[in-house]
Chain A
Amino acid sequence: MKSLAEPVAPLPPADARASESARWRLRLRGQVQGVGMRPFVWRLAQRHGLDGWVGNDGDGVLIEVQGTRAALAAFRAELRTPPPLARIERVECSEQPLQAAARGFAIVASRVGAAHTGIAADVAVCADCLAELFDPAARRWRYPFINCSHCGPRFSIVARLPYDRANTALAAFPPCAECAAEYADPADRRFHAEPLACGQCGPRLLWRARAAELGAPLADVLAETLALLRGGRIVAIKGVGGFQLLCDARNAAAVAELRRRKQRPAKPFALLAANAASFAGLVELDVASQQLLEAPSRPIVLCRQRAGVELAGIAPGLDRLGCLLPAAPLHWLLFHEAAGRPAGMAWTTQPQPLLLVCTSANASGEPLPIDDAEAVTALAGIADAVLGSDRAILARCDDSVVLAHGGGFSCVRRARGWAPQPLRLPRAGPATLAFGADLKNSIGISRGDRAWLSQHIGDLGSVAARRAQWQALEHLLAVLDVQPARVVCDRHPDFASSRAAAEFAAAHGLPVYAVQHHHAHIAAVLAEHGHDGPALGLALDGFGLGDDGAAWGGELLRVEGVHCQRLGHLRPLPLPGGDAAAREPWRMAAAALHVLGRTDEIAVRFAAQPAARTVAALLARGVHCPPSSSAGRLFDAAAGLLGVCATMSYEGEAAIRLEAAARRHGAAAALAGGWTHAGGVLDLRPLLAWLCARQDVAHAAAVFHATLVAALAEWIEWAVQTSGIRCVAVAGGVCLNRVLLDALHASLETRGLRLLQARELPPNDGGLAFGQLWLGLQQT
């Protein structure tokens, strides 16, 4: 996890007064509550023999310490290494008059004020808790809800501030005497761990639904779950941020059945294994990927599949597998069960044969179910059994998806483990609320120069998803305690997100700013890099409504604050059938043939498509064919021409398959004369014409990528020369394509230009709200 942690301000110079007594007041800001900060400070003060106190309030943690200046300085220096979940953003220190009476160091009760502190993200089980979980002598041996100050759920179980047990999902579970003692002991790892619990007093796992033919209940829920999975059944379990569906990944019939029941013919499934060693035979695990896999945020990490590995039905046509390690104690316990309940930790690093499919348990287009009753209804006909619990999930949070590259990582979906960690804006402004776009929706809120992006909310096409967006908004407002002063949305008048923004603004009497989609995409990347001046923006996207009302998506922009000028665009292709062309790449291939003057080939080439003749007629007559400069549709056209994907069963499928084919081939040279460029319009018709006659798909895909990179680089260089601006940001859904982006980055580097890319935020619409915030906040 990337943090906002700043170095603690420099220490006062050591001087001759080192042995003199002084009293300091220290204010710690950032993510400093509910993360074991106060016991950490308490232990530190004990160790340095300091008197005083520490307490939480609405601004963070407040400390008063008294002792020799040397001890105070040492104490302050050690604040640099806080507990794992803490993120100290700022330390303020002031000298106070000495107090004669107070001896010893105390933890004082919380004082509620204006909350300017952050809630931590949900994190995986820490090493200490894991050791207890597998220690038959420990009080919490095999307890599925084990956690401590340094690990466990946070964001997903907090209803509102302040972060006290009463405001969490544990409110219904009064701690037993032993838990209460741990809670009250500053020397204990669970001192003031709000969600602490044990088998005596805490939540339990509960079967919520089991198909009748599964037989009589067994005594042990975990053994039974494992037996079901080994028997090829599909089991829903309650994960950290919502229900997940599990099945045996090595059982092709089980995987096929899951696909059939979820009506998900080809979209890749993530795999869950006990540890990185268990993945070693399946994927190429570089150091960066392994670190991401094992990070406390526990994202799904996209890893390159080993050559020759064949796991039927997991990721059809792709060369990467989504890998995931246990994020909750329950996941660990399934592997523990499968390993025969060994005592101790040795097995946790040894390869384990159990490999599970782990996928969100939502019906397609619906949000993840978080409530047990809701899950039973939603999963009837999908899961053979539903394993819930009596601990509620208060904030829905999908798994995050990331990918290691270039020594760091890039984010595909930002959710569990990241939400709601703050991001920094280039400068402060009025508190702003941004509603994102309609697919991969995520909303954002800013206060000062901090911005919080909600967890991934997803496609707003269903009523449940729109209600989930409101829930996420209310939850975020409650845990941040922000009052937005303005609202931002996309310019598309028919986006549900735009309408939600208007509704919220009207209800609260706030102004709404509608910003252009690609301007916001570029602004997100610029803001992430703290860039607050003029820049060139290359938007490589699927679709966004343009200033002229047309479908944009391959744009070269000049961006400066709230101003945006379109310097150029990809030569538009017609979209035969509008949105149907975004689902059916063969239609884009037909559009390509049409702009190449080969309309009469369409009916023959796509004879298998019932609509081929009609689509040819639409193109010939120019009806139902809105033009689009979209880069995403250009990829679709290429995939359609190469026969990589005729119709998509999930968003982005054609481009993802084309990228996989290019990676399979490896580097290729750009096609000479593959493009023309005049007046800012980049025309790739020569490349499309070349693709029409290709048989070697992998080679053609590699040449397509290489040529596009060369064309884009030349195009950007033209813009740099005409504008005099050397800072270039790239954004949009197409930027998930690493073959394209890595080559473009390298190509610009050789031209002495630096390409700014999305880092912690997804480059697609999942990060749009951050750009909207930055633009909304600058409106005057």
Chain B
Amino acid sequence: MVHGGGGRAMTQLVEELFVAAFANPALQALNDQAVLPPPAGRLVMATDSHVVSPLFFPGGDIGSLAVHGTVNDVAMAGAVPLYLAAAFILEEGLPLADLARIVESMAAAARAAGVSIVTGDTKVVEAGKGDGVFITTTGVGMLAEGIDTGGARARPGDAILLSGTLGDHGVAIMACRDGLDFDVPIVSDSAALHGLVAALIAAVPGVRVLRDPTRGGLGATLNEIARASGVGMRLREASIPLHEPVRAACEFLGLDPLYVANEGKLVAIVPAAAAAAALAALRAHPLGREAALIGECVSDAQHFIELETAFGGRRVLDWLAGEQLPRIC
């Protein structure tokens, strides 16, 4: 498909596509902004730009990812997500069918998550200046009084829970991008987690910290929490859930699954006394069936995260400055 005129034709096409797909009164007003009734409680806002190659992968695509990513950022505050704004940067030459698929998937993800995409924007850049499509989504949600799940609240003794298996998203993307086929296909875990969060908070209102281990994986997330809270952590590798195909793929690729990205998992830190209730609440939800208690916070001035390995050894789960560089001398 060809779009002359600086992409104006495409922009128009796209807007029609969006209005149809995201059907809601605010968007249908076709203004440059959405006018919305204020929710009760506190407002929560989050924004996230989504860049992924390939655009379509097992378990999702950039459209569903753009909804889940921002919904989860809002949800990790303990909030109920309500609205999304979406900005698209389209590369000239993107097949319209692909765009339609992405938009459809976005709409479906938003519907399933119970959020409305109420305003948006589209820009077109020359071929070669984008990676097909970039989507920035901004989310607004409502946070009830008395809930605080900020990263600085972990205390020594608190239990660390993980809502399910690690690495599915990152490995699915890599396998797809690098054209690697594994015996058992690996599917991204991309999902909206606010329902799981609501169930958890209902069971354990005193949950201390919520975080989704996206880029940098569990390793990056736990190190951020440990440093913000001024605690150390002890984890048991054997209790960290991992799908067998993901484990094998990581071994083949030389990756540590604890540093691989996830898009549908959360880490919850709760007081030790509430650990059993939290675990039960997570497991009762379809997105938390494989939830596990993976360790606890300890008092440690140096904020080390120590992992007891499956073979009884111990190693530090470090934060990394960038990519996983070789380290073996």
- Partner-B contacts on A (CB < 8 A): 263, 363-366, 437-440, 461-464, 466, 492-496, 541-545, 551, 575-583, 610-611, 614-615, 617-618, 621, 623-624, 626, 628, 632, 651, 733, 764-765
User: Chain A's nearest CB lies how many Å from the CB of B51?
Assistant: 18
Given A263-B313, A494-B327, list of 10 further CB < 8 A pairs? A462-B306, A463-B314, A493-B325, A577-B254, A578-B324, A580-B253, A610-B252, A617-B179, A628-B326, A651-B328
Of A440, A462, A494, which is within 8 A of B329 by CB? A440
User: In the complex, what distance in Å separates the CA atom of A576 from the CA atom of B326?
Assistant: 11
B316 touches A496 (CB 8 A): yes
A621 touches B253 (CB 8 A): no
B255, B313, B327 interface centre (most CB from chain A within 10 Å) = B327
Of B180, B255, B315, which is within 8 A of A461 by CB? B315
Interchain Cβ contacts under 8 Å between A and B, 13 examples: A263-B312, A363-B313, A461-B316, A462-B315, A542-B328, A542-B329, A576-B254, A577-B254, A577-B255, A578-B326, A618-B180, A624-B255, A628-B326
Residues of A within 8 A of B248 (CB): 610
Number of contacting residues on B, CB 8 A?
A: 31
Residues of A within 8 A of B16 (CB): none
Q: Is B178 an interface residue (CB 8 A)?
A: yes
A366 touches B329 (CB 8 A): no
4 A-B pairs with least C-beta separation = A577-B254, A580-B254, A493-B321, A582-B328
Known: A363-B312, A462-B306, A463-B306. A494 touches B318 (CB 8 A): yes
Known: A543-B329, A582-B326, A583-B328. A614 touches B253 (CB 8 A): yes
B174, B249, B304 interface centre (most CB from chain A within 10 Å) = B304
User: Chain B's nearest CB lies how many Å from the CB of A628?
Assistant: 7
Question: Which residues from 271 to 329 on chain B have a C-beta closer than 8 Å to any C-beta of chain A?
Answer: 302, 304, 306, 311-316, 318, 320-322, 324-329
User: In the complex, what distance in Å separates the CA atom of A438 from the CA atom of B328?
Assistant: 9
B304 (CB) vs chain A CBs: closest residue? A463
A584 (CB) vs chain B CBs: closest residue? B254
B309 (CB) vs chain A CBs: closest residue? A365
Known: A364-B313, A617-B180. A493 touches B326 (CB 8 A): no
User: In the complex, what distance in Å separates the CA atom of A152 from the CA atom of B27?
Assistant: 85
B327 touches A611 (CB 8 A): no
User: Chain B's nearest CB lies how many Å from the CB of A267?
Assistant: 14
User: Chain A's nearest CB lies how many Å from the CB of B258?
Assistant: 14
User: In the complex, what distance in Å separates the CA atom of A462 from the CA atom of B318?
Assistant: 10
Known: A462-B315, A617-B180. A579 touches B304 (CB 8 A): no
Residues of B within 8 A of A576 (CB): 254
User: Chain A's nearest CB lies how many Å from the CB of B301?
Assistant: 11
B253 (CB) vs chain A CBs: closest residue? A624
User: In the complex, what distance in Å separates the CA atom of A615 from the CA atom of B249?
Assistant: 11
B254 touches A765 (CB 8 A): no
Known: A577-B253, A580-B254, A614-B182. A365 touches B314 (CB 8 A): yes
Residues of A within 8 A of B304 (CB): 463, 466
Q: Is B15 an interface residue (CB 8 A)?
A: no
Question: Which residues from 243 to 277 on chain B have a C-beta closer than 8 Å to any C-beta of chain A?
Answer: 248-249, 251-255
Residues of B within 8 A of A582 (CB): 326, 328
Residues of A within 8 A of B313 (CB): 263, 363-366, 462
User: Chain A's nearest CB lies how many Å from the CB of B124?
Assistant: 30
A541, A581, A624 interface centre (most CB from chain B within 10 Å) = A624
A437 touches B321 (CB 8 A): no
Residues of B within 8 A of A495 (CB): 327
B178, B313, B326 interface centre (most CB from chain A within 10 Å) = B326
B249, B316, B325, B328 interface centre (most CB from chain A within 10 Å) = B328
User: Chain B's nearest CB lies how many Å from the CB of A217?
Assistant: 30
Residues of A within 8 A of B179 (CB): 617, 621
User: Chain B's nearest CB lies how many Å from the CB of A329?
Assistant: 33
A263, A463, A495, A611 interface centre (most CB from chain B within 10 Å) = A463
Residues of A within 8 A of B249 (CB): 614
B311, B314, B329 interface centre (most CB from chain A within 10 Å) = B329
User: In the complex, what distance in Å separates the CA atom of A123 from the CA atom of B306?
Assistant: 36
B254 (CB) vs chain A CBs: closest residue? A577
A517 (CB) vs chain B CBs: closest residue? B329
User: Chain B's nearest CB lies how many Å from the CB of A55?
Assistant: 42
A577 touches B320 (CB 8 A): no
B182 (CB) vs chain A CBs: closest residue? A614
User: Chain A's nearest CB lies how many Å from the CB of B326?
Assistant: 5
Residues of A within 8 A of B302 (CB): 466
Residues of A within 8 A of B252 (CB): 577, 610-611, 614-615
Residues of A within 8 A of B321 (CB): 493-494
User: Chain B's nearest CB lies how many Å from the CB of A284?
Assistant: 31
B182 touches A366 (CB 8 A): no
User: Chain A's nearest CB lies how many Å from the CB of B232?
Assistant: 8
User: Chain A's nearest CB lies how many Å from the CB of B225?
Assistant: 17
Residues of B within 8 A of A733 (CB): 329
A492 touches B254 (CB 8 A): no
Of A365, A461, A494, A621, which is within 8 A of B320 by CB? A494
Interface 0/1 of B175-218, CB less than 8 Å to A: 00011101000000000000000000000000000000000000
Residues of B within 8 A of A437 (CB): 329
A543 touches B327 (CB 8 A): yes
User: Chain B's nearest CB lies how many Å from the CB of A637?
Assistant: 15
User: In the complex, what distance in Å separates the CA atom of A733 from the CA atom of B328?
Assistant: 12
Residues of B within 8 A of A463 (CB): 304, 306, 314, 316
Residues of A within 8 A of B326 (CB): 543, 551, 575, 578-579, 582, 626, 628
User: Chain A's nearest CB lies how many Å from the CB of B245?
Assistant: 12
User: In the complex, what distance in Å separates the CA atom of A579 from the CA atom of B312?
Assistant: 21
A580 (CB) vs chain B CBs: closest residue? B254
User: In the complex, what distance in Å separates the CA atom of A582 from the CA atom of B252?
Assistant: 13
User: In the complex, what distance in Å separates the CA atom of A374 from the CA atom of B249?
Assistant: 38
A438 touches B327 (CB 8 A): yes
User: Chain B's nearest CB lies how many Å from the CB of A772?
Assistant: 14
B254, B255, B312, B316 interface centre (most CB from chain A within 10 Å) = B254
User: In the complex, what distance in Å separates the CA atom of A439 from the CA atom of B322?
Assistant: 20
B300 (CB) vs chain A CBs: closest residue? A463
User: Chain B's nearest CB lies how many Å from the CB of A383?
Assistant: 15
A492 touches B327 (CB 8 A): yes
Residues of A within 8 A of B311 (CB): 263, 364
User: In the complex, what distance in Å separates the CA atom of A461 from the CA atom of B314?
Assistant: 8
User: In the complex, what distance in Å separates the CA atom of A545 from the CA atom of B311?
Assistant: 29
A544, A611, A615 interface centre (most CB from chain B within 10 Å) = A611
User: Chain A's nearest CB lies how many Å from the CB of B217?
Assistant: 15
B253 touches A579 (CB 8 A): no
B328 (CB) vs chain A CBs: closest residue? A582
Of B251, B320, B329, which is within 8 A of A765 by CB? B329
User: In the complex, what distance in Å separates the CA atom of A366 from the CA atom of B321?
Assistant: 25
Residues of B within 8 A of A462 (CB): 306, 313-316
Known: A463-B304, A494-B320, A614-B252. A365 touches B315 (CB 8 A): yes
Residues of B within 8 A of A578 (CB): 254, 324-326
Residues of A within 8 A of B255 (CB): 577, 624
Residues of A within 8 A of B178 (CB): 617-618, 621, 623-624
B248 (CB) vs chain A CBs: closest residue? A610
Residues of A within 8 A of B318 (CB): 494, 496
User: Chain A's nearest CB lies how many Å from the CB of B184?
Assistant: 13
User: In the complex, what distance in Å separates the CA atom of A543 from the CA atom of B326?
Assistant: 8
User: Chain B's nearest CB lies how many Å from the CB of A640?
Assistant: 15
Of A363, A494, A611, which is within 8 A of B251 by CB? A611
Residues of B within 8 A of A581 (CB): 254
B256 (CB) vs chain A CBs: closest residue? A579
User: Chain A's nearest CB lies how many Å from the CB of B254?
Assistant: 3
User: In the complex, what distance in Å separates the CA atom of A463 from the CA atom of B235?
Assistant: 13
User: In the complex, what distance in Å separates the CA atom of A612 from the CA atom of B318?
Assistant: 29
User: In the complex, what distance in Å separates the CA atom of A390 from the CA atom of B212?
Assistant: 50
User: Chain B's nearest CB lies how many Å from the CB of A698?
Assistant: 27
Residues of A within 8 A of B329 (CB): 437-440, 541-544, 632, 733, 764-765
Residues of B within 8 A of A461 (CB): 315-316
Residues of B within 8 A of A583 (CB): 328
